[in-house]
A and B are shown apart, each in its own frame.
Chain A
Amino acid sequence: MRSAWAAAWVAVAVLLLAPAAAEAADAPLPVRIRVLHGSRQGTPGVPPGLEDLRGQLSATAYVRWEQAGEVQASMVPKKPVPVSLPGGESVTVTLIDSRSGAATFEVSAPSSRTQSRVTVAPGKRIVQQVSAERGGSAWFVTIRAGG
């Protein structure tokens, strides 16, 4: 009888502690980062590869979109990932935290002297303009945790 109760309580304790232990492991987080070019002029269009972003992109004043690059990385907290922009500029994306079912990223864009810290729930994407608009167009990065 005692052993049955002991086994039952051990099972409950293991089940209760397992999620916390898994979270504490800080496993690398697969992240997909895409570099986009958005223009206010030109024929409106979103390429097939950016269809998943159409909802967000259509909320902006930019009508013509093109993908200029992509980085897929297994990010660990506090380790920046550089993302090159056409023209020699670059931005850095840093995973700050990925616990509690959400991921926090820091995006630093030296060219626009802009820094952001964004926390998103799983499945959500960040679309961030990383260069000031010039001539009706600008550079953007999109970040999605989970690849």
Chain B
Amino acid sequence: MKCAGAAPLLGSRPGELDPAEEAALSAHLSTCEACRARQADQDALARVVENGLLGEAARRDFSSFADGVMARIPASAWQGAATPGLLGRLLELFRRHRVLATASALAPALAALALYLYIGRTTGTGAVEFSVEVTSEDLAPMVLDTSDGPIILVGEASDGT
């Protein structure tokens, strides 16, 4: 292979050449310094272009790409001919995402239950600090309120003994 035959093959991508072309090009490059230099130039150019394209792509914001595509699709194309109501769409959503729907139904129920139990427990201990009823036939009971609980005093014996 001569330089004129090797020139079109320089800069080919991996796998682009058949085995015979690849072997001939390799044999030519091993003996031709000028073609090796062109090959090196083309490789360097390819890397520069690749990095430039990747950088340009990275600067673009694709976050709204999917929404934009969906917005351009007519609603009838994916919702069917008749547009269902809110309940229909909700049921369809539940049909598609069963586990998610079950979890989303359970989550507020469990949260409400936890709140109910918490409120019941706190009001149970807070509201009923204590209540006292004392009856005595001949003493005068007295109740003291402390933070630890009630103290019931009945006083002194009337006979003074």
Which chain A residues have a beta carbon within 8 Å of chain B's beta carbons? 1, 4-5, 7-8, 11-12, 15-16, 19, 53, 55-56, 59-60, 100-102, 109, 112-134, 138
Chain A residues whose CB sits within 8 angstroms of the CB of B125 once the complex forms: 101-102, 121-123
Do B152 and A126 have beta carbons less than 8 Å apart?
A: yes
Do A11 and B135 have beta carbons less than 8 Å apart?
A: no
Cα A26 to Cα B95 in complex, Å, equals 45
Do A118 and B146 have beta carbons less than 8 Å apart?
A: no
Cα A20 to Cα B153 in complex, Å, equals 36
A2 nearest CB across to chain B (Å):
10
Do B136 and A113 have beta carbons less than 8 Å apart?
A: yes
Report if A119-B128 is in contact (Cβ < 8 Å); known contacts: A1-B95, A8-B102.
yes
Do A12 and B106 have beta carbons less than 8 Å apart?
A: yes
Query: With contacts defined as CB atoms under 8 Å apart, how many contacts are there between chain A and chain B in the complex?
Result: 134
Do B144 and A114 have beta carbons less than 8 Å apart?
A: no
CB pairs A–B below 8 angstroms (23 shown): A1-B94, A1-B95, A1-B98, A4-B99, A7-B102, A56-B148, A56-B149, A102-B128, A113-B138, A114-B134, A114-B154, A115-B135, A115-B136, A116-B141, A120-B128, A120-B149, A121-B129, A124-B149, A126-B149, A126-B150, A127-B149, A134-B156, A134-B157
Cα A28 to Cα B121 in complex, Å, equals 20
Which chain B residues have a beta carbon within 8 Å of chain A's beta carbons? 94-95, 98-99, 101-102, 105-106, 109-110, 113, 117, 120-121, 124-126, 128-139, 141, 144, 146-158, 161
Cα A126 to Cα B54 in complex, Å, equals 78
Chain B residue at minimum C-beta to C-beta distance from A113: B137
Chain B residues whose CB sits within 8 angstroms of the CB of A117 once the complex forms: 132-133
A122 nearest CB across to chain B (Å):
6
Cα A112 to Cα B155 in complex, Å, equals 10
A61 nearest CB across to chain B (Å):
9
Do A114 and B95 have beta carbons less than 8 Å apart?
A: no
Cα A122 to Cα B134 in complex, Å, equals 21
Do B129 and A118 have beta carbons less than 8 Å apart?
A: no
